[in-house]
Chain A
Amino acid sequence: MPEDKKVEKVLKIVEALRAVIGSSSDPFNVDVKGQIEALRRLLPEWSELDEILADVEAMALLSRIVELQEKWVRYQASSLYVDPLLVELKIVASTPERLAEVFAGSWHPILKVEQISKIELMNAISYWNNLLPFDKRFSEELGQERELATFDAKRLVEMKILTEEEINRRIEEVYGELKPMLDLQGKVDYWRFVEGKDSNETIARAVILSHIVSSGLASIEVKPLEDNIFIVKPGLSRQPKSVAITIPRSRGGGM
């Protein structure tokens, strides 16, 4: 037999023994005598340390199997041994009411007292009196609550997230795109115009458009009954007013 085949045989024995030990299957399914004989035949041929260690492991597992066999015999001889199949048959044949009686008839509940002592009660009062109000308790972890605020272009420039040049370039870019459309069509569908390749770009275009509208280069017309929003030429709406448009994250990238 080639060398690697012999090692493989020992490793297979080790795997099979581990499987029996790990499960609750019958340890008598293992042919202990046959396995020891196989290991004995292979033993003189081992020369490498790894091979000898594999042999030692197999022997250790076989001794564990013998131990399990002893326990198995003891258990089968005990008063608690019942054939699992018989138990299954009895369970299937019984009604839930009968099974409940079976459990109750063997159930001896633990006795315990659920009562608070005077000392525990005093500790609880002291704890409660020293407890900070809920809003103060977590202020350190959560920090102080802050008012909602808006980020306008000026703030973004102040925070050095955007430069004024960058904003102006983006406004000119978007306005350069919008103006010919307004000249040609008179009004442009808002969602079709702000739509970008993804939701981030859609939001960015909507922000830039709001700057264009705020600076009087275009206007917004909302048709609530038709559920339409249009970008129109400036001065067409009667009274200037602020319009809030919510942009869901799902918008953009193939609306």
Chain B
Amino acid sequence: MSLEADVAIKVRKALQIMLTPKVRAPGVKGWELKRAIGRDYYTIIQALNTELDKLGLMVKIVGESGELPPQAEQDQLDDARFYIIFKEPLTAREASPSGMSIDDMAALAITLSYLTSKRGKAPAKEVERMLKEKLPRWKVEWNIRRFVRKGYLLKNDDGTLAIGWRSLVEVDFKSLLTLLLATPPKEQESGEPPTGPQ
């Protein structure tokens, strides 16, 4: 079998393993890929990434504290989890068929940007206070419970909330903060002229 054909088979195998439904959480561990497609699995993943790029998708490799840098060690790769994600973000309108309402997305923007500014962890009471600025009171606790269940947030025993595994995979925190800070003042958004000194 030629090298090209061998790589093509391994790329297909890697794609199958990564997309197969998992019992607990999506994605696949590096050591699982190594067991299935061999020691050169990272090269195969890079080849798969090239193919996925044509479809607007990409492979994201996430360790315990976030995305792994390109120069990650072999041990780090083996322990990391490999996911296929959308390369380009969506608009709020495009995202809504996924089951997320405008309020849900706003709540996630508030929670994750606040936690990021607090180095990834803050008391749950503080997060609730921030959410109550924009959401009905009854929806706040309900949303937090849901986000914890889905993996967007992590609830610690000491009463703090932290950024969950799914957020580390799905959210580009740099973009999140850049977009939030670029938000124009409310008055300008609503079309009212800014008031100056008389």
Which A residues between 108 and 130 are near B, CB-CB below 8 angstroms? 108-115
The residues of A that contact B87 with a CB separation of less than 8 Å are: 108
Cβ contact within 8 Å between A104 and B95: yes
Binds A, one of B5-13, B34-42, B43-51, B167-175: B167-175
Cβ contact within 8 Å between A101 and B92: yes
Nearest CB in chain A: distance from B23 CB, A = 12
Task: Name the contact of B130 in the complex, choosing from A83, A91, A101 (C-beta under 8 A).
Answer: A91
Cβ contact within 8 Å between B121 and A24: yes
Q: A97: CB under 8 A from chain B?
A: yes
The residues of B that contact A96 with a CB separation of less than 8 Å are: 102-103, 106, 134-135
Alpha-carbon separation in the docked complex, A82 to B105 (Å):
21
The residues of A that contact B24 with a CB separation of less than 8 Å are: none
If the complex has contacts A88-B130, A109-B98, are A99 and B172 also in contact, measured as CB distance less than 8 A?
A: no
* From B60, B91, B179, residue with most partner A Cβ within 10 Å: B179
Contact bitstring A65-106, B, C-beta under 8 A = 1, else 0: 000000010010001101110111011111111111111111
Q: A107: CB under 8 A from chain B?
A: yes
Q: A22: CB under 8 A from chain B?
A: yes
The residues of B that contact A83 with a CB separation of less than 8 Å are: 117
If the complex has contacts A91-B130, A112-B21, are A101 and B121 also in contact, measured as CB distance less than 8 A?
A: no
A interface bracket (residues with beta carbon within 8 Å of B): 35 or more
Cβ contact within 8 Å between B89 and A104: yes
Q: Which of chain B's residues has its CB closest to A84's CB?
A: B117
Q: Which of chain B's residues has its CB closest to A81's CB?
A: B117
Task: Name the contact of B174 in the complex, choosing from A79, A92, A108, A110 (C-beta under 8 A).
Answer: A79
The residues of A that contact B121 with a CB separation of less than 8 Å are: 24
The count of A-to-B residue pairs whose CB atoms sit within 8 angstroms is 155
Contact bitstring A17-41, B, C-beta under 8 A = 1, else 0: 0000010100000000000000000
The residues of B that contact A110 with a CB separation of less than 8 Å are: 26-27, 83-85, 166, 169-170
Q: B72: CB under 8 A from chain A?
A: no
Q: B122: CB under 8 A from chain A?
A: yes
Q: Which of chain A's residues has its CB closest to B151's CB?
A: A110
Q: B186: CB under 8 A from chain A?
A: yes
Q: B1: CB under 8 A from chain A?
A: no
The residues of A that contact B92 with a CB separation of less than 8 Å are: 97, 100-101, 103-104
Task: Name the contact of B183 in the complex, choosing from A24, A90, A107, A109 (C-beta under 8 A).
Answer: A90
Nearest CB in chain A: distance from B57 CB, A = 6
Alpha-carbon separation in the docked complex, A101 to B96 (Å):
11
The residues of B that contact A86 with a CB separation of less than 8 Å are: 117, 181
Nearest CB in chain B: distance from A119 CB, A = 11
Task: Name the contact of A102 in the complex, choosing from B19, B109, B116 (C-beta under 8 A).
Answer: B109
Nearest CB in chain B: distance from A241 CB, A = 55
The residues of A that contact B106 with a CB separation of less than 8 Å are: 96-97, 99-100, 103
Alpha-carbon separation in the docked complex, A107 to B19 (Å):
19
Q: B113: CB under 8 A from chain A?
A: yes
Which A residues between 54 and 74 are near B, CB-CB below 8 angstroms? 72
Cβ contact within 8 Å between A101 and B91: yes
Cβ contact within 8 Å between A109 and B186: no
Cβ contact within 8 Å between B119 and A24: yes
Q: Which of chain A's residues has its CB closest to B116's CB?
A: A80
Alpha-carbon separation in the docked complex, A97 to B119 (Å):
26
15 contacts between A and B (CB under 8 A): A83-B117, A84-B114, A86-B181, A91-B110, A91-B130, A95-B189, A102-B109, A102-B113, A103-B106, A103-B176, A104-B95, A110-B26, A110-B84, A110-B170, A114-B21
Using A100-B103, A104-B90 as known contacts, list a sample of 15 further A-B pairs with CB atoms less than 8 Å apart, ordered by residue number in A.
Answer: A24-B122, A88-B130, A90-B183, A91-B114, A100-B102, A101-B92, A103-B171, A104-B92, A104-B105, A105-B91, A106-B173, A107-B105, A110-B170, A111-B57, A111-B83
Top 8 A-B pairs, shortest CB-CB distance: A99-B106, A100-B105, A106-B175, A103-B109, A106-B176, A96-B106, A84-B117, A87-B117
Identify the B interface with A (CB < 8 A).
19-21, 26-27, 57, 60, 83-92, 94-95, 98, 102-103, 105-106, 108-110, 112-114, 116-119, 121-122, 130, 133-135, 158, 160, 166, 169-177, 179-181, 183, 185-186, 189-190
